[in-house]
Chain A
Amino acid sequence: MIQDTKKNAIVTNRDAPAQFVRASDVNKHRERFFELLSPASGRQTVVLGLLGAAIFFALWETAHYMTAEEGRRFLPSVEQVLGELIYLFAEKDFIYDVLRSCARIFGSFFAASAVAIPLGILMGCFGKFKALVNPTVSGWRYLPAASFIPLLLVWFGPSETAKMGLLFLGVLFFLIAMVLDNTEAVQRELTEAALTMGASRKRIVLEVVVPAAMPAIIDSMRTMIAVGWTYLVIAEIVGASDGIGAVMMRAGRFLNVDTIMAGIFMIGVLGVLTDIGFRIVQRLLFPWNIKKKV
């Protein structure tokens, strides 16, 4: 008991002199790491994010040095991979491959969007059109995109069309389903309010449903372009002589693990940049969607 009071600072309350208040009795905010309903602050997000990355690279580095000398070339260190990446850009015109890959991804993705977005919106607006199209379109989602490679090769040969075709098919059917969901999620009363105002169907689709669904659709696009990036290497196996995937496949033949890992790293960086790009576009296009209180 005596020890206990010694351990804790004693704070006397002047209004109630008979009462001793121990520091441990005072309400204080104890911040726990695993706290429910407690999102990280802006600063914590940055610090913890960097910490997570640092832990990952530290583990990688440790694994490299724990590997036996003769096996280390199969698990190169962080600095070897980054060095290889710089070498690829400086000496091997890697920027050309990166740009080719980007052009394939964005070209095929925007082609898929140009088909999926109108189709999804029309299905979401008109129940009978959905009944006509959706069953046929849904089935395609279950087919692995890679299974189209032989078919695309027979039809188009090892051409640009075949690669773009694979990337296109890989995202198209998922994007249709997601846009359909986004459109159907538009609050019913918005459409009903426009109907009672006497708006035509064309007006309601273009001036009510489309703006209402657009932020969610851009979100779906952001998710699906990530899937596009995951198909990139598969697409560039199909007889490609350029692109990040082709560089990686060539390196694989010579067991150049550092080049392969540099390619993986590059795709990761491009993916993150694409994601950030979509978020910026979303903020610029839909300033009204940002919640703020008066």
Chain B
Amino acid sequence: MNDALQQPAVAARDITKQYVNGTFTALQDVSVDIHEGEVVAFIGPSGCGKTTMLRLISGLELPTRGKLATFGQPINGPGPDRGMIFQAYTSFPWLTAKKNIEYGMKIMGVPKAERAKTADEFLKLVHLDKFADSYPNSLSGGMKQRVAIARTLAQNPRIILMDEPFGALDAQVRWEMQEMMIEVIEREKKTVVVVTHDIEEAIYLADRIIFFTRNPGRIKEDIPLEFKKGQRFLRKEEMFDQDGYAQLERKLFAMMREEIVAADAA
């Protein structure tokens, strides 16, 4: 067995992140392993450090203390092995949907013909094949976000990091995007880390929920989604019928309320 295969997708050991010369601690002594193929949701109240943790994994920021590695390699900066999808629309407005998807591959030095072929494939996967030559300004918010998702997937990253990816979308589009994401995850077999404040979204997408608490940011509870029995539901309503779904949602709401009450008291 190759040693690298046994390494976790993300291994964090005693991660501390401080800002403003140490006067604000966003994360304190966080340790967590995320395994290959897992879909993990980070949830928690505002200011709990869940987005900071995601940005540390992406390499956009570096921890103040602690060790962070992906598949055994220390994380010293961003790289195409960890694709990131942001809440803000990051499809480049001066490139068509297709050229946007090709851009990531261009950076990696993929030959032109192959880029075009792969881009077509991913346009189809995110249901945008009819909009290949449209510029983002003529696309809806959900479509812009699908361009960004396809661009990330086309780079074939080992881990996909998503920071409130559907936070700017309206309820119906958000729900469509969540179902599309399940389709993509099932097909691409990626390791996914998604930061969200939407409890239902976290339960629907994830195999495992990591609940963060604030002041300072640390992990409160690591919750495996046992009620799903390893399944992922292509239709969201199938999830609501499962035994244990309601109890879990109730528990997470109660945990969130506890955090809000504590924050108000402080």
| B79 interface residue per 8 A CB criterion | yes
Smallest CB-CB separation from B86: which chain A residue? Answer: A189
A265 to B151, CA, bound (A): 53
Smallest CB-CB separation from A193: which chain B residue? Answer: B90
| B212 interface residue per 8 A CB criterion | no
Question: Which of B44-52, B100-108, B188-196 lies at the binding interface?
Answer: B100-108
| A2 interface residue per 8 A CB criterion | no
Tell whether A289 pairs with B93 under 8 Å between CB atoms, given A187-B88, A189-B88: yes
Q: CB within 8 Å of A: which of B71-130?
A: 77-80, 82-84, 86, 88, 90, 92-95, 103-104, 107-108
Main SS of chain B's interface residues? loop
Chain A residues near B82: list those with CB within 8 A: 196
Question: A292 to B138, Cβ gap below 8 A?
Answer: yes
Q: Which residues of A line the B interface, CB within 8 A? A: 187, 189-190, 192-199, 203, 207-208, 211-212, 286-294
A-B contact pairs, 5 of them (CB 8 A): A197-B152, A198-B78, A208-B92, A288-B95, A294-B131
Q: Which residues of B line the A interface, CB within 8 A? A: 58-60, 77-80, 82-84, 86, 88, 90, 92-95, 103-104, 107-108, 131, 134-140, 148, 151-152, 155, 161
Q: How far is the CB of B244 from chain A (nearest CB, A)?
A: 35
Tell whether A190 pairs with B140 under 8 Å between CB atoms, given A195-B78, A198-B80, A198-B107: no
Chain A residues near B59: list those with CB within 8 A: 196
Smallest CB-CB separation from A291: which chain B residue? Answer: B137
Q: How far is the CB of A208 from chain B (nearest CB, A)?
A: 7
A207 to B107, CA, bound (A): 11
Smallest CB-CB separation from B58: which chain A residue? Answer: A196
Main SS of chain A's interface residues? helix
A273 to B150, CA, bound (A): 44
Chain A residues near B94: list those with CB within 8 A: 211-212, 286, 288-289
Chain A residues near B90: list those with CB within 8 A: 187, 189-190, 192-193
Chain A residues near B84: list those with CB within 8 A: 192-193, 196
Question: B107 to A196, Cβ gap below 8 A?
Answer: no
Tell whether A294 pairs with B134 under 8 Å between CB atoms, given A193-B86, A198-B108: yes
A294 to B139, CA, bound (A): 6
Question: A196 to B78, Cβ gap below 8 A?
Answer: yes
Smallest CB-CB separation from A214: which chain B residue? Answer: B94
Smallest CB-CB separation from A287: which chain B residue? Answer: B135
Chain B residues near A199: list those with CB within 8 A: 107
Question: B86 to A192, Cβ gap below 8 A?
Answer: yes
A192 to B161, CA, bound (A): 13
Q: How far is the CB of A195 from chain B (nearest CB, A)?
A: 5
Chain A residues near B86: list those with CB within 8 A: 189, 192-193
Question: B60 to A288, Cβ gap below 8 A?
Answer: no
Smallest CB-CB separation from A293: which chain B residue? Answer: B138
Smallest CB-CB separation from B85: which chain A residue? Answer: A193
Q: How far is the CB of B88 from chain A (nearest CB, A)?
A: 4
A290 to B138, CA, bound (A): 9
Smallest CB-CB separation from B154: which chain A residue? Answer: A197
Which 7 pairs of residues, A with B, have the shortest CB-CB distance? A198-B80, A193-B90, A196-B84, A288-B135, A189-B88, A211-B94, A196-B78
Smallest CB-CB separation from A197: which chain B residue? Answer: B104
Residue from the set A196, A208, A293 with the largest chain B CB neighbour count within 10 Å: A196
For A196, give its contact among B60, B88, B131, B136 (CB under 8 Å).
B60
Q: How far is the CB of A251 from chain B (nearest CB, A)?
A: 48
